[in-house]
């Protein structure tokens, strides 16, 4: 065969192949144009059934050529067709890829879908009575999947969303929704008969910080989304406690969680190396281990157990953090106990001083309430409890010297013992409201003397106003010398203690830095008082 006939045959073959391809393309386009409306109906029906919602979509295109794909804008899913609440899901735009078989399979299967402008609003538990249901949807509040007996269901191999907003709507209409900004959400194997695997990063609003999390989500409960299961691990890093009024420091936390969206059990640890209060402005390391139950629809948290370590002081707590009606913020209600802690750790946190004014072993039982509202934590803090302070020493040399002198005089020793070391013991009840600390039944004891006081101390001005009694083992004459001792013998009958010795009515006024101790003359001159 010569070269010319061979070239002619090749040209003929190419022309035939090109013609066949053109005919095939025309046929494919014709078939695609006929199938597209049907596929659109299948996509809408699958979404409708999968989420038990009425589907609204601004635009939706389904293509089978040159590759199977769906894309659209303005997708809105209204749970059970409700228009009185925010849509369950709204998506600004989406693009999904599928195999040709996946578009016609039951359930409808997509290889991947990329979402932009995703907002999810999880309604509170239960379906509102009397609300219209989406076509073909039944009440399946306790079911764990959609019903494939009607429209086909939906399986998505991979879902990605760069930016998304999740709102958890509380049952109480007076409370604001709980909002989370989610970044880089990836969910694999979203199907009807098992959980999907996910990874995500989200911004926690208060305290503000970034949470990295991964775990399992689902299967989706179409009839009652708040009962959808979720579990996983989280890492909360560099959370800014300054976003909570009155607190400061950087918190890090790791832990695990599991449960339903409306009730999630969390166990974890926190580490805040520079925890501080506005009143103290002195950072103190704080570590905790905790177990809690979180209502995901409201953000309310029940603290089942919190074991903390403030520097070297163990703290145990339990209680709740609840969002109040119509008030921004949370109500913190706790039962707190300290057993044999260091008073210097607590004072370093609460007092704005270079060094704590006192050292010793402290035990506390108290209720703690921090209502929401304006102002710092210290102005809103409410306490009601009992304190015991043992083996206490004042860090100020002058104060400790006066305490030592009081102890010696109370025992009838009028000499100068110089560096005598005296420890003090204190106990009493306390109530804190509006920045005013009220102390009752307060006793302060050193060898030979006992002080009993009732009164108030203002946290902001540091002004104190206490009245009570000073009980001494010795008589007045034994506490001094010279003329004062002679006068003491004369007036001793007026100040005789109930068990002998001396009882003097006293008052303590002034400020923390400049206290004023003195005899309460008015009470002293009232016989029998």
List of the chain residues with pLDDT < 70: 1-39, 64-66, 100-105, 125-153, 172-176, 278-281, 296-299, 324-328, 351-354, 416-421, 524-529
Contact 391, 361 (CB under 8 A): yes
Asked whether the CA dihedral 83, 84, 86, 88 is positive or negative, the reply is negative
Contact present, 228 and 206 (Cβ < 8 Å):
no
Measured distance CA(106)–CA(93) in Å, rounded:
25
Query: What are residue 289's DSSP bridge partners?
Result: 269, 307
Q: Which domain holds residue 358?
A: 238-366+383-391
| 311 contacts: CB under 8 Å, gap ≥ 6 | 284, 285, 286, 342, 345, 348
pLDDT at 140: 36
Residue 208 and residue 259 share a domain: no
Please choose, from the candidates 344, 370, 337, the residue with its C-alpha nearest in 3D space to the C-alpha of residue 358.
344
Asked if 256 and 335 sit in the same domain, the reply is yes
Out of 200, 227, 254, pick the residue that ends a domain: 227
Whether residue 117 is contained in a domain is answered as yes
pLDDT at position 412, please? 81
Distance CA 462, CA 254 (A): 39
Query: In terms of domains, do 332 and 355 share one?
Result: yes
| CB of 326 closer than 8 Å to CB of 372 | no
Report pLDDT digits (tens) over 372-404.
877 777 788 899 999 999 988 877 777 777 778
pLDDT of residue 148: 38
Report yes or no on 20 lying in a domain: no
What pLDDT does residue 11 have? 59
The answer to whether residues 400 and 506 belong to one domain is yes
Pairing relation of β-strands 108-110 and 154-168?
Answer: parallel
**Angle 364-370-373 (CA atoms, 0-180°, nearest 5)?**
160
Number of domains within the chain:
3
Q: Are residues 30 and 178 in the same domain?
A: yes
User: Is 19 inside any structural domain?
Assistant: no
14 inside domain: no
Q: Are residues 421 and 518 in the same domain?
A: yes
Would 99 be classed as within a structural domain? yes
HSE, CB side, 13 Å, CA atoms: give it for residue 127.
23
Q: Same structural domain for residues 401 and 324?
A: no
Please indicate, yes or no, if residue 41 is contained in any of the structural domains. Answer: yes
Quote the distance between the C-alpha of residue 180 and its chain's center: 13
| Last residue in a domain, options 204, 227, 250 | 227
pLDDT of residue 97: 83
Last residue of a domain, one of 227, 253, 284: 227
Residues 507 and 449 grouped into a single domain: yes
How does DSSP classify residue 300? -
Res 74: pLDDT = 93
Other Cβ atoms less than 10 A from the Cβ of 2: the count is 7
Q: What is the pLDDT of residues 302-333, one digit of tens each?
A: 999 999 999 999 999 999 988 766 666 778 89
Are 283 and 191 in the same domain? Answer: no
Residue 375 lies in a domain: no
- Predicted local distance difference test score (pLDDT) of residue 142: 38
Rounded-to-integer distance, Cα 47 and Cα 265, Å: 30
The Cα 235–Cα 271 span in angstroms is 12
Angstrom distance (rounded) from CA 47 to CA 68: 18
On whether residue 4 sits in a domain, the answer given is no
* Distance separating alpha carbons of residues 146 and 151, to the nearest angstrom: 10
**pLDDT value, residue 269:** 95
Three-class DSSP category at 7: helix
Q: Is 69 in the same domain as 143? A: yes
What are the contacts of 349-352 at 24+ separation with CB within 8 A? 349/275, 349/276, 349/277, 349/280, 349/282, 349/284, 349/310, 350/277, 350/279, 350/280, 351/279, 351/280, 351/282, 352/279, 352/280, 352/281, 352/282
Domain match, 180 and 245 both: no
Counting other chains too, the contacts that 206-213 makes at CB distance below 8 Å and 24 or more residues apart are 206/243, 206/244, 207/239, 207/240, 207/241, 207/243, 207/244, 207/247, 207/251, 208/239, 208/240, 208/243, 209/236, 209/237, 209/238, 209/239, 209/240, 209/251, 210/236, 210/237, 210/238, 211/235, 211/236, 212/237
Kindly state whether residues 242 and 221 are assigned to the same domain. Answer: no
């Amino acid at each position: 065969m010569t070269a010319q006939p061979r070239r002619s045959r090749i040209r003929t073959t190419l022309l035939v192949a090109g013609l066949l391809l053109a005919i095939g393309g025309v046929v494919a386009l014709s078939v695609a144009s006929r199938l597209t409306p049907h596929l659109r109906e299948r996509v809408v029906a699958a979404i409708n059934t999968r989420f038990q919602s009425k589907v609204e979509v601004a635009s939706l295109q389904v293509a089978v050529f040159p590759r199977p794909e769906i894309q659209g804008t303005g997708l809105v899913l209204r749970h059970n067709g409700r228009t009185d609440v925010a849509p369950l899901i709204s998506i600004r735009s989406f693009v999904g890829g599928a195999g040709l078989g996946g578009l016609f399979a039951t359930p409808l299967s997509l290889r991947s879908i990329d979402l932009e402008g995703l907002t999810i609003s999880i309604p509170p538990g239960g379906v509102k009575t009397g609300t219209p249901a989406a076509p073909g949807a039944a009440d399946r509040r306790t079911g764990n999947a959609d019903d494939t007996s009607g429209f086909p269901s939906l399986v998505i191999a991979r879902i990605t969303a760069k930016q998304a907003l999740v709102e958890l709507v509380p049952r109480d209409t007076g409370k604001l929704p709980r909002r989370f900004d989610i970044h880089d959400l990836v969910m694999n194997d979203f199907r009807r008969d098992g959980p999907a695997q996910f990874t995500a990063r989200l911004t926690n609003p208060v305290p503000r910080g970034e949470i990295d999390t991964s775990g399992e989500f689902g299967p989706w409960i179409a009839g009652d989304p708040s009962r959808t299961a979720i579990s996983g691990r989280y890492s909360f890093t560099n959370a800014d406690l300054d976003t909570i009024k009155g607190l400061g420091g950087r918190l890090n936390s790791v832990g695990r969680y599991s449960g339903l969206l409306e009730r999630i059990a969390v166990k974890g640890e926190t580490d805040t190396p520079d925890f501080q209060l506005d009143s103290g402005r002195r950072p103190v390391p704080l570590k905790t281990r905790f177990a809690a139950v979180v209502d995901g629809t409201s953000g309310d948290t029940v603290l089942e157990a919190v074991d903390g370590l403030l520097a070297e002081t163990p703290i145990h707590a339990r209680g709740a953090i609840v969002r109040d009606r119509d008030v921004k913020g949370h109500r913190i209600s706790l039962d707190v106990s300290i057993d044999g802690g260091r008073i210097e750790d607590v004072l370093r946190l609460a007092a704005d001083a270079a060094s704590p004014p006192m050292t010793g072993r402290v035990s506390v039982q108290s209720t703690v309430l921090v209502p929401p509202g304006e102002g710092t934590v210290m102005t809103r803090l409410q306490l009601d409890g009992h304190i015991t302070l043992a083996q206490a020493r004042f860090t100020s040399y002058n104060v400790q010297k006066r305490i030592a002198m009081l102890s010696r005089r109370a025992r009838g020793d009028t000499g100068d013992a110089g560096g005598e070391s005296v420890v003090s013991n204190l106990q009493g009840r306390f109530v804190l409201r509006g920045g005013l600390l009220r102390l009752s039944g307060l006793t302060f004891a050193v060898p030979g003397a006992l002080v009993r006081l009732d009164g108030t101390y203002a946290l902001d001005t540091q002004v104190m106003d206490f009245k009570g009694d000073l009980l001494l083992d010795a008589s007045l004459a034994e506490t001094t010398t010279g003329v004062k001792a002679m006068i003491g013998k004369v007036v001793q009958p007026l100040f005789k203690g109930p068990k002998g010795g001396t009882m003097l009515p006293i008052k303590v006024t002034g400020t923390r830095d400049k206290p004023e101790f003195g005899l309460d003359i008015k009470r002293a001159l009232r016989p029998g008082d």
